[in-house]
Structure formats: C-alpha cells, structure tokens
Homo-oligomer: A and B are copies of this chain.
Amino acid sequence: MLKINKYVDINTLDKEAKKDYIDRHSAFIDCATEAKKDEMFAVTVRVGDEYPHPDDFDHYISYVQLFNGQTLLAQANFEPGAVFGAGKAGNLKVTFNVVAAKNLNLTAVAYCTKHGLWESDSVKVEVK
C-alpha cells in the first residue's frame, strides 16, 4: 500500500536528523490567498524549506503535482541532476499559472526517488 507522507511542522520535532529529513521532503504551496477571476494566478510548488534536498542521480525529486481538490492541474517531471546538479542540493521550485473561475483548494505532491510521496498542506484561494 502506498504511503503518502503528510506535512509535519518541524518545530514540533526533537531530533535534528528528523527535522532535516521531514523538511527537505515537504511540499509547500506559495501563492496569494486571493485571485482575480479570469486573471492569471501564479502558484509556486516548492520542496523543502530550511533544509536542501539532494539532486543526486540515485536520489532526487522526480516530480511535483498540483491538485485543485481531487483534480490534477499539472505535473512537472525533472531529470536526475538537472535542477541543481548531481552532488549538489537545493529547494526545487516550479511556478504554474492558472486562471480560476471558482475558489481553489490547492494541494501539492512531491515524489522523492528514495523516500516516496509527500503531500503538502492544502491552501484555499478565494476567487473574486
């Protein structure tokens, strides 16, 4: 059975290694909380906040997905070592743009080739 890791606030964690592990895999959605109807609205999906994730050939973020409710909007796939370079690390980010007709409830998923699926907290966007 697939395990979808959910976001955990690393301030609630004791051990440094665990903070690092959880943080560098966590998916985040960065966007405004309001969007104008029928105008382009930028939504950035980011992986990791304080701790960088490797971009090694055998350990990298292979894809991120952006959902609205249970509906997939977009998926971005990355090649190993293509974003930061093999042997390096960082916080991957990709900015999608959508035109919303109705309120959004966005969720992102990130997939690490070693540590599986990670789901962000959901973000509500009011469309006016």
- Which residues from chain A sit less than 8 Å from chain B, CB to CB? 1-4, 6, 38, 40, 56-58, 62, 67-68, 70-86, 88, 90, 92-99, 101, 107, 109, 111, 113-117, 119, 122
- Roughly how many angstroms separate A43 CA and B12 CA in the complex, as a whole number? 36
Residue in chain B with minimal CB distance to A83: B98
Given contacts A83-B99, A99-B85, contact A2 B58 (CB under 8 A): no
**Chain B residues near A109 (CB, 8 Å)?**
2
State A14–B40 Cα separation when bound (angstroms).
31
B83 lies within 8 A of A79 (CB):
no
Is the Cβ of B96 less than 8 Å from the Cβ of A76?
yes
Report yes or no: A94 in contact with B93, Cβ–Cβ below 8 A. no
